[in-house]
Structure 1
Amino acid sequence: MLIRKAQSKDLRAILDIMNEAILNTTSMYAYEVHTEATIRQWLIKKQSDKMPVFVCEMNTNVVAYSSFDTFRTCDAYKFSVENSIYVHKDFQGRGIGTQLLTTLIERAKKDGYHTIIAGIDASNAGSYHFHQQLGFHEVGRIRDVGYKFGKWLELVFMQLMLE
């Protein structure tokens, strides 16, 4: 297992992982899949904003990615980031997410951030417990904030203090 910075050669694998989550889960509150053009712009923006994107490579195949971005755009939030971690469904439960989130936490500390926020769909018990195991605590819920697959979705916010 190799955790490294994402490169343009990884975009197809990231796109496939992202689109699978959009089409089949409530991990992403999106309806429309991304294209190669939109994912390329996503990576360019992340790089220009100095926001990390990491991938996990196994046997030369990218099987997961992670990133963080500003929590909100107003200036007062500049020390808070929100994380994203997506592992290909065939590779979940192997410690990949733990390695990726640990890498994000180390990077956030190095970059001087104060806290990491995770927004998790309430039905995603796996992600909830995963974040809990790495020190995140639930700090709030927003009921009926999203609508997907014919049902209202509840968003749970979890937080890890870095200092």
Structure 2
Amino acid sequence: MEATIRTATEADLHAILRIMNHAILHTTAVYDYEIKDEAFINNWFAEKQRSNYPVIVATTDSEIAGYGSYTQFKAKDGYKFCVEHSVYVAEAWQGKGIGRLLLTALIDNAKANGMHSMVGLIDADNTISIALHKKLGFTEAGLLQQAGFKFNRWLNVQFMQLLLD
């Protein structure tokens, strides 16, 4: 499997939306309940561009295999050097290294843009994602008990953090 990481374009938004909606409907990787529409993804992408935050995709010969992005952790001035990332991989490409490629590219981008810290909020039962983060140098930075609710059950959120400099 050969995948390339590149900056997302408007032409990629349909594939990103498909991956996003699959995660909403079938996983606890995102705590939304309702699928998103074309207007949402267009606004989401425009806001990322306005704020100068990256949206990247992993491409194979035939399709978008995943996407990633980050944004300021919290909307307060003091958090301007701390970003929260998101990485989602299409179901058919999970377990094939796409998540690692995307997360590594986001880390490199954040370093190049002078960020100091990157955090991830991960469903605590997602041991695969937690293990990937640890392999890339993230450490466990706290656990929020029963912070989310989806699929008729309470979900714990594992904070992971990487200091970038």
Q: Is residue 2:82 matched to residue 1:80?
A: yes
Report what 2:16 is aligned to.
14
CA distance in 1, matches of 2:98, 2:155: 27
Q: What is the Cα-based RMSD across aligned positions, in Å?
A: 0.7
Q: Is residue 2:141 matched to residue 1:139?
A: yes
Q: Is residue 2:54 matched to residue 1:52?
A: yes
Kindly report which structure 2 residues correspond to 1:104-143, keeping only aligned pairs within 5 A, or say none.
104-143=106-145
Q: TM-score, normalised by structure 1?
A: 0.98
SS at match of 2:148: strand
Q: Offset of 1:151 from its aligned partner?
A: 0.3
1:79-102 deviation per Cα after TM superposition (whole angstroms, max 9, x unaligned) = 000010000111011111111111
CA distance in 1, matches of 2:12, 2:65: 10
Q: 1:100 aligns with which of 91, 94, 102?
A: 102
Q: Write out the 4+ residue segments of structure 1 that deviate beyond 6 Å after TM superposition.
A: none
CA distance in 1, matches of 2:158, 2:96: 24
CA distance in 2, matches of 1:33, 1:114: 33
Residue ranges of structure 2 left out of the alignment (5+ in a row): none
Q: Offset of 1:139 from its aligned partner?
A: 0.7
Q: How many residues align?
A: 163
SS at match of 1:72: coil
Q: Is residue 2:27 matched to residue 1:25?
A: yes
Q: Offset of 1:60 from its aligned partner?
A: 3.4
Residue ranges of structure 1 left out of the alignment (5+ in a row): none
